[in-house]
Amino acid sequence: MKVLIDTNIVLDILLHRQPWYRNAALVFSLTKQNFFQSYVSATTITDIFYLARKDLGKNGVKDSIKNLLQVFHPATVSDSNIYQALDLEWNDFEDSVQFVVGEGLAVEYIITRNVQDFASGSITALTPEQFIEQVTGSM
């Protein structure tokens, strides 16, 4: 199974944001144990660097991203993805890019805390809690 991890989940992990850290970290742990493949878009990585640098510092965020990418695979964002995302006319452009990248990867789920932002898409969006329940229920 393949999933795409939304920016907010990665930030929850890196910044230990409460009360979301525990379930986000569990998704990371299950990925690390090879229960499924997780991807983050290249745009997520740049957004994370910008946002987390304030809390972790330049070197800290670089190290954190390197560790993250040992588990979550980076996904290319092409010019075609950008044009497709622009054509979606969603309220949140970043979410439309995430969705288009997920389509290209043929992911089964997008893991996010903002499920409603992906309601217009054909990929099921789940919170970490919903995803964990689904995955552990099928083990």
Residue 24: predicted pLDDT: 97
CA dist., res. 29 & res. 94, Å (int) = 25
Residue 29 has pLDDT above 80, yes or no: yes
- Among the CATH numbers 3.30.70.20, 3.40.50.1010, 3.20.10.10, 3.40.50.1860, which is that of 2-137? 3.40.50.1010
CA dist., res. 44 & res. 59, Å (int) = 18
pTM over 0.85: yes
Beta bridge partners of 109: 3, 124
Residue 64: predicted pLDDT: 95
87 HSE (CA, 13 A, CB side) = 7
Residue-wise pLDDT for 101-135, tens only, equals 999 999 999 999 999 999 999 999 999 999 999 98
User: CB of 69 within 8 A of CB of 39?
Assistant: no
Q: How far is residue 121 CA from its own chain's centroid? A: 16
What is the pLDDT averaged over residues 74-96?
95
Work out the pLDDT band at 137, boundaries 50, 70, 90.
Answer: confident
Query: Which two three-digit tokens encode residue 70?
Result: 């040992």
Ordered DSSP codes for 34-79: TSSEEEEEHHHHHHHHHHHHHHHHHHHHHHHHHHHTTTSEEE---H
Q: What is the domain partition of the chain in residue ranges? A: 2-137
How does DSSP classify residue 20?
T
CA dist., res. 110 & res. 96, Å (int) = 12
